[in-house]
Amino acid sequence: MYKLICKDGNAKRGEFATVHGVIQTPVFMNVGTVGAIKGAVSTMDLKEIGTQVELSNTYHLHVRPGDEVVKKLGGLHKFMVWDRPILTDSGGFQVFSLAGLRKIKEEGVYFNSHVDGRKIFMGPEESMRIQSNLASTIAMAFDECAPHPCTREYMENSVARTTRWLARCKGEMARLNSLEDTQNRQQMLFGINQGGTFEDLRIEHAKRISEFDLDGYAIGGLAVGESHEEMYHIIEKTVPHLPGDKPVYLMGVGTPANILEAVDRGVDFFDCVYPARNGRHGHAYTNHGKMNLMNAKYELDSEPIEPGCHCPACRHYSRAYIRHLLKAKEMLGLRLLVTHNLYFYNKMMEEIRQAIEKGEYAQYKKRKLAGFMEGGEA
């Protein structure tokens, strides 16, 4: 259940009640694709840095260790030792990202596993069953993330199929949630809006999926090659046609600047691999842009990554030490940077919520973006 607390322009401050706790929105979900954050960050660490929601991937967990294995072990929460909400992505994005290994048909998608090459079939019902076995808090509907660019004809057919798949997802989830041996019978379902950069297709699809009366709605198929301006335009035009009393999730986006712009356009939920991926490559997010700690200028720098930051890395370690760890290829270096970056994102979301509550979001956004520009990042 979504409760809108207040608005500042189009920016929304809300709460989303789930069986695994109340999510304060806007929120950034920390991405643990295979049930773990890449960079040796544990669920205990996630609690320490203020993570509200963890995101895992249906396709990857189905391939390894297997969703049936996770079910036998009590579901993903018990398996990972995490008692807060988990959102599972449907596997639809893999239809896009594993383009060379798949074949799309009306019944679903035929894959070759990226691990061992074995044939896998996943359709709407299979995706729902896998996510039910994982017992996540929020399940995502199975969709196709069409390539960018593509023809209007391809996009129209893809969007229509995604809608038909959504109807099948909703029916299968209702069936699964009625079964006695289902571990989370209060699992929620979010539908996904598609349509690429075709504004009219996006709007029409948003109206159509709103009729399904789901727990929440996502905007998918962005940040796949279009410009930031195109992405912001599509968000701006699409969000007003999604239900105002349900959360809106922008999938796979993005940079801190992307998040600030999308919040301003009414988005509630975010996820992205950037903080973990960039951390593993020696980059740290700060209020003054991104830092590359591999640079020689940090060799004798005894300052924390960002003075005033209260993450575990900044409370204890210097830039020089973390740079040394990275150069020595020590796992601890990656762990400290990933932890810092996730803390930075989580803290920024907390600041965003406070700014909206105070009616000061426009000023906050302007200040934050100006800071990022100092380091050449926006």
C-alpha closest to that of 234 among 191, 271, 198:
198
Distance CA 22, CA 85 (A): 8
Write out the residue limits of the CATH 3.20.20.105 domain(s) in the chain: 2-272
pLDDT of 102 reads 79
Angle at 147 between CA 143 and CA 153, to 5 degrees: 85
Neighbouring CB atoms inside 10 A of 288's CB total: 15
The pTM of this model reads: 0.97
- The fold adopted by the segment(s) 2-272 is TIM Barrel (3.20.20)
Grouping H, G, I as helix, E, B as strand and the rest as coil, residue 265 is coil
Distance CA 298, CA 234 (A): 41
Query: For every residue of 201-214, which 3-state class applies, written as one string?
Result: HHHHHHHHHHCCCC
Could you give the residue numbers annotated as active site? Answer: 89, 271
Tens-binned pLDDT, residue by residue, of the chain (378 aa): 999 999 999 999 999 999 999 999 999 999 999 999 999 999 999 999 999 999 999 989 998 999 999 999 999 999 999 999 999 999 877 766 776 777 889 999 887 888 888 888 899 999 999 999 999 999 999 998 888 899 999 999 999 999 999 999 999 999 999 999 999 999 999 999 999 999 999 999 999 999 999 999 999 999 989 999 999 999 999 999 999 999 999 999 999 999 999 999 999 999 999 999 999 999 999 999 999 999 999 999 999 999 999 999 999 999 999 999 999 999 999 999 999 999 999 999 999 999 999 999 999 999 999 999 987 664
Summarised one tens digit per residue, pLDDT across range 94-148 is 766 776 777 889 999 887 888 888 888 899 999 999 999 999 999 999 998 888 8
